[in-house]
Chain A
Amino acid sequence: MVQLALPPNARIDKSAGKHYPAPSGARRVRTFRIYRFDPASGQRPRIDRYDLDMEQCGPMVLDALLKIKNEVDATLSLRRSCREGICGSCAMNINGVNTLACTRACEDLGGGDVSIYPLPHMPVVKDLVTDLTTFYAQYAAIKPWLQTRTPAPPDRERLQSKHEQQRIDRPSACILCACCSTSCPSYWWNSERYLGPAALLAAYRWIVDSRDEALGERLDALEDPFRLYRCHTIMNCAEACPKDLNPARAIGAIKQMLADRQH
């Protein structure tokens, strides 16, 4: 059935949010409105407001979050690791856009409050930490490894021309942060059956790899009204990608290949 109302634990309790004022003497105050939810508590999610002195805070949104966690409220949960945009751990929704907290500068967010939510439409483990189990399973489902029948040359690597390498160069740069998939409405409504832009970009990366010998099998596995064809070229994926990749174009190329082998 079409679900019109959100379940209670997806509705924010507007009366429950806490406010943490900036320390006295703060000169450049900015408010961070952060989604807080602990499923184990039995309480509905709330928005806590943290006022930070930006003179005493690093430039990136992740710096602000870590300042809050270290100095203001240690109960805030978030994932982070590399703090330089290569691990994909700190993907979250900042001012309505999925991106990495470590590479998004507070100054680039314009003026006003900064709203921070977990990645949309994913089960929340706690606060800004979402459950990405299905997302990772979808990546595993496209068999993200080289498949060959020809044995590798005994004395060297499998060779690839410069041009052939260039075809996989960009799609290989995906860090699996899930910003694209969780920004895609098609993925929201059918996240179990639609593979989503990230997994399809990964599939494309192996489809166009000149060394791979499983192109037919890879296309066979994607030839499905839900796995692939839920993409309606909404393009949120390309808009969201913090690595400036274009999953939508990769999906379009896969659809073109499937059409080409029909005639």
Chain B
Amino acid sequence: MTLRSPLGRVLNHGAAHGGVSHWIVERVTALALAPLAIWLLVTLLALPVLDHATLSIWVATGWNPVWLALLVLLASWHSWLGVQMVVEDYVHGLTKTLTLLVSTCVHALLALSGVYAILHIVFAGTA
């Protein structure tokens, strides 16, 4: 029960002056991911066999590690933003804050471990 006026409730804390860069980055990462995803699919399908040894060599060849790392980082970034949107839509209160924290940690972990794996293959050979 609140006696606060409806307009007062709707105006609430005012505008947070955010969301624009979120909206832009969502679109820019999507645009960048499209050619990268096609590149990944096409080059993988062009390999003679898809076993561990072939893939390890492929990862370390030429510009492949650069494109792969870019793909991992952009995909994590894009997914992080997307999951944040979904959580903000459906989850409310303290649970929302906690879910967003967990999502951020998981995505940071995904991005870092992906890049680490690529660097490891390039500089130390396969694990």
Which of A1, A141, A228, A255 interacts with B95 by CB under 8 Å?
A: A1
Tell me how far the C-beta of A141 lies from the nearest C-beta in chain B, rounded to whole angstroms: 5
| Pair B89/A186 contact, Cβ less than 8 Å | yes
Within the assembled complex, what's the spacing in Å between the Cα atoms of A216 and B91? 32
| Pair B15/A137 contact, Cβ less than 8 Å | no
Say whether A93 faces chain B, with CB atoms less than 8 Å apart.
Answer: no
Write out the residue numbers on chain B whose beta carbons fall within 8 Å of the beta carbon of A141. 7, 10-11
Write out the residue numbers on chain B whose beta carbons fall within 8 Å of the beta carbon of A229. 19, 22-23
Say whether B24 faces chain A, with CB atoms less than 8 Å apart.
Answer: yes
Within the assembled complex, what's the spacing in Å between the Cα atoms of A52 and B93? 48
Tell me how far the C-beta of A185 lies from the nearest C-beta in chain B, rounded to whole angstroms: 8
Tell me how far the C-beta of A77 lies from the nearest C-beta in chain B, rounded to whole angstroms: 22
Within the assembled complex, what's the spacing in Å between the Cα atoms of A2 and B6? 25
Within the assembled complex, what's the spacing in Å between the Cα atoms of A190 and B85? 12
Interface residues on B, range: 20 to 34
**Interface class of chain B by DSSP:** helix
| Pair B95/A259 contact, Cβ less than 8 Å | no
Binds B, one of A53-61, A154-162, A167-175, A219-227: A219-227
| Pair B91/A259 contact, Cβ less than 8 Å | no
Which of A1, A138, A232 interacts with B91 by CB under 8 Å?
A: A1
| Pair B89/A190 contact, Cβ less than 8 Å | yes
| Pair B95/A2 contact, Cβ less than 8 Å | yes
Within the assembled complex, what's the spacing in Å between the Cα atoms of A222 and B18? 9
Q: How many residues in A have their beta carbons less than 8 Å from beta carbons of B? A: 31
Instruction: Kindly report which residue of chain B lies nearest to residue A3, judged by CB atoms.
Output: B92
| Pair B10/A259 contact, Cβ less than 8 Å | no
Within the assembled complex, what's the spacing in Å between the Cα atoms of A2 and B93? 10
| Pair B16/A225 contact, Cβ less than 8 Å | yes
Tell me how far the C-beta of B101 lies from the nearest C-beta in chain A, rounded to whole angstroms: 16
Say whether A20 faces chain B, with CB atoms less than 8 Å apart.
Answer: no
Write out the residue numbers on chain B whose beta carbons fall within 8 Å of the beta carbon of A220. 15, 17
Write out the residue numbers on chain A whose beta carbons fall within 8 Å of the beta carbon of B90. 2, 189
Instruction: Kindly report which residue of chain A lies nearest to residue B84, judged by CB atoms.
Output: A225
Write out the residue numbers on chain B whose beta carbons fall within 8 Å of the beta carbon of A228. 19
| Pair A224/B23 contact, Cβ less than 8 Å | no
Say whether B43 faces chain A, with CB atoms less than 8 Å apart.
Answer: no
Q: Name which of A140, A227, A230, A232 has the most chain B CB atoms within 10 A of its CB.
A: A227
A209-243 with Cβ < 8 A to chain B: 220-230, 232
Sample (11) of A-B pairs whose CB atoms are under 8 Å apart: A1-B93, A137-B7, A186-B89, A192-B10, A220-B17, A222-B15, A223-B20, A224-B15, A225-B22, A259-B23, A262-B21
The 4 closest A-B pairs by CB, nearest first: A137-B6, A225-B19, A229-B19, A224-B15
Q: Which B residues have a C-beta under 8 Å from some C-beta of A?
A: 5-7, 9-12, 14-24, 85, 88-93, 95
Q: Which A residues have a C-beta under 8 Å from some C-beta of B?
A: 1-2, 133-134, 136-138, 140-141, 186, 189-190, 192-193, 195, 220-230, 232, 255, 258-259, 262
